[in-house]
Structure 1
């Protein structure tokens, strides 16, 4: 049973991404760009993982990059949707393949202290509890292991949300969490030295039907408990179109995305120094760009 209109229906999340697997790469421009920017941040650390985990692997962009970057490492690709993992398998080169795991970020089917690097690109927004997800990340990371992730912040899809708010009281977009609340959740999970930052990106579309088609092709449409369960009527849709058209600028319709970047460490008892509640990561674990 769901407790909140913003609670995600995980069954619907899985179904949406299974359906979207074949069309995802054709429209995932933003996801690829954010993934590339996330990978660039790995250059800031000196780490040669024995096991690296791509959590929320999707069609395998990050997985393939980890295989190329860490040639001596074993790479796991984990996703909630089986069809996405099938795409990851197809994308893998014959020379080296990742291990594929179907599972939920909030209940990882992995052993304690089993991975040295956990990378997650635009997956946390599909979790109902950040505390539960980060506790799982902390559990599976080995001492001194690194976590790098991206997710969406509250300004994401604000034009869609605000336009629908002029039409009805239903939830029409998924819930997105503020960067500071994400940082607080990292601390509660016992992850060390969390670093957060945010950037705002915008896509534009010539018309609303194309915008909606692309969101559906990504599997990113609304799956909250508070969504309308009946088909959207013609009058309802026209009202939404009119509300969105009022936001047209320079001949195009904008869609905003607030991208949150974060990284943190699993405490390494043998290597870290503590002072009260402060956790310090040694300089030799970092390197300059």
Structure 2
């Protein structure tokens, strides 16, 4: 989430790992599906009738399909960094029309100002190097009185894996995640009003470390840090990781902790300063 080495993300690596994981993602993404479902449930308590909706970081399309069911008359656009993920989104739904699928980075949205009334983003902004830039882009493409509803991951996410790797070699193997309060401050800096933040802690358990590593690979959440080691994880280092992780075993299972951060904020009546990108895509309702 920051520009400081070694925690800066290699975006080409991020795209490549999600492309490779597209076919295995849905089977392994148990926590990601649950978080997306809970975020969709929260929208049911918000009085909103958006004509244009953006799913920013759509993955294989769970959120976009849920948004279409929730707002039947709206125009839903699914955006993702991974072309392979978007192809699965298109395969799973027959209601897409151009430009309903857009391959782009949330840090540089290819849309005109005030293009959307709602931005929905589940577990995506943790893949940004510059949160301020991503939120400024969300603010720019939202219409006055538009809503941003999102989830991301907090600093206690995969804390057991992070600490176990620190015992092994001291290198960065797990992404850095921002604190909930810092994210709220960033929303204010971006020009959002009335930000609301809360956190939920979830745990996935495994019989061994290899099961956790397999799941992370299957969902594309492998090490994409610019400061990552370039060599393969050899058998010796893997055994050392397994030994270090044993400290956290409880009732016969190893925990993988996730700090899930929920946030929403509104756009004030005044429009955002224009930062219209060249070749911006205009989005119309209907």
CA shift for structure 1 position 155: 0.3
1:26 maps to what in 2? 27
CA shift for structure 1 position 3: 5.0
- Normalised to the residue count of structure 2, the TM-score between the two structures is 0.91
Q: What are the residue-to-residue correspondences of 1:188-199 with 2, within 5 Å? A: 188-199=189-200
2:114 maps to what in 1? 113
The CA deviation string for residues 247-268 of structure 1, in whole angstroms up to 9 with x for no partner, is 1110111000000000001111
Q: For 2:16, what is the secondary structure of its paired residue?
A: helix
Q: What are the residue-to-residue correspondences of 1:167-186 with 2, within 5 Å? A: 167-186=168-187
CA distance in 1, matches of 2:212, 2:170: 22
1:152 maps to what in 2? 153
CA distance in 2, matches of 1:47, 1:233: 52
- Normalised to the residue count of structure 1, the TM-score between the two structures is 0.90
Matched, 1:249 2:250: yes
Q: For 2:44, what is the secondary structure of its paired residue?
A: helix
Number of residues of Structure 1 aligned to a counterpart in Structure 2 = 267
CA shift for structure 1 position 269: 3.6
1:97 maps to what in 2? 96
The CA deviation string for residues 175-234 of structure 1, in whole angstroms up to 9 with x for no partner, is 111000000000000001000000100000012211110110000011111211111222
CA distance in 1, matches of 2:268, 2:45: 18
After TM superposition, the runs of 4+ consecutive aligned structure 1 residues lying more than 4 A away are: none
More relative contact order in 1 or in 2 (CA 8 Å, sep 6+)? 2
Which ranges in structure 1 are unaligned for 5 or more consecutive residues? 271-289
CA shift for structure 1 position 48: 1.1
Q: For 2:248, what is the secondary structure of its paired residue?
A: coil
Which ranges in structure 2 are unaligned for 5 or more consecutive residues? 272-286
CA distance in 2, matches of 1:219, 1:239: 23
Q: For 2:187, what is the secondary structure of its paired residue?
A: helix
The CA deviation string for residues 41-80 of structure 1, in whole angstroms up to 9 with x for no partner, is 1122211111100000000000001111111110000000
Matched, 1:187 2:188: yes
